[in-house]
Amino acid sequence: MSGLLVEDETQFYCNAKTYWKNVPPTVDGMLGGYGHISSIDLSGSKKFLQRFLKDGPHKIGTSYALDCGAGIGRITKRLLLPIFKNVDMVDVTDEFLSKAKGYLGEDGNRIGNYFCSGLQDFVPEPSRYDVIWIQWVIGHLTDSHLVDFLKRCKSGLRSNGIIVIKDNMTQEGAIMDDVDSSICRDLDLVRRLIRHAGLAVVAQEKQENFPEEIYSVFSIAMR
């Protein structure tokens, strides 16, 4: 599907990188002017993640998480660091990662690595992470690069680890956003790409209480 929308792959990634370089390194900037929904988003994410922290044969560990498309660390600060002992952050914009070091405060000393990289090029260390959290960033990958990245993430999981995608979903098909150079896909297409990566969906949930004018947002856990 992305092959029909992306005429020039190099330009697709270059345009996205340029867009984010011009975004202010603030929570409002990370959320495209919707900073007021941050607490609702994080509350929903915490509830979704809690189901995997309960005792049972598939309980995840709490040693290490990876925040993909981490920005200034909004999710790292309020979702991942309160649960996991250490967190790695990866983002394509070096200014955001520099800002994160101040934004995270004292808890920033539990950040293992700040990786400045596009996800199409990023290779997680094998068997390192209990959770790989990928939020509002899969639109910046072509279909084939998303599948390849998820395969690499699968290798990066520890025993019982999970990958979580939380992102906008269209009603049907895929839509190109020329402003930030991203693709918004429907839920069926995202799930199909997950299957192509050799992963199985273990939980799925629609985010509640978001503004009606924005896309529906779903969390999908897989391993």
Concatenated DSSP letters of 152-213: HHHHTEEEEEEEEEEEEEBSSSEEEETTTTEEEEBHHHHHHHHHHTT--EEEEEEPPS--TT
Confidence of residue 172 (pLDDT cuts 50, 70, 90): very high
Number of Cβ within 10 Å of residue 3's Cβ equals: 10
Instruction: Give the DSSP H or E segment for 64.
Output: strand 64-68
Residue 2 has pLDDT above 80, yes or no: no
Look up tokens 């290490």; give the residue: 64
Quote the pLDDT of residue 57.
84
Quote the pLDDT of residue 23.
98
99/24 Cα distance (integer angstroms): 10
The stretch 58-64 carries a mean pLDDT of 95
Note whether 133 and 73 are within 8 A (CB).
Answer: no
Pick the CATH number of 2-222 from 3.40.50.150, 3.30.360.10, 3.30.950.10, 3.40.50.300: 3.40.50.150
Residue 45 has pLDDT above 80, yes or no: yes
Q: Where are the domains of the chain?
A: 2-222
Quote the pLDDT of residue 20.
98
Quote the pLDDT of residue 3.
74
pTM over 0.95: yes
Average pLDDT, the chain: 97
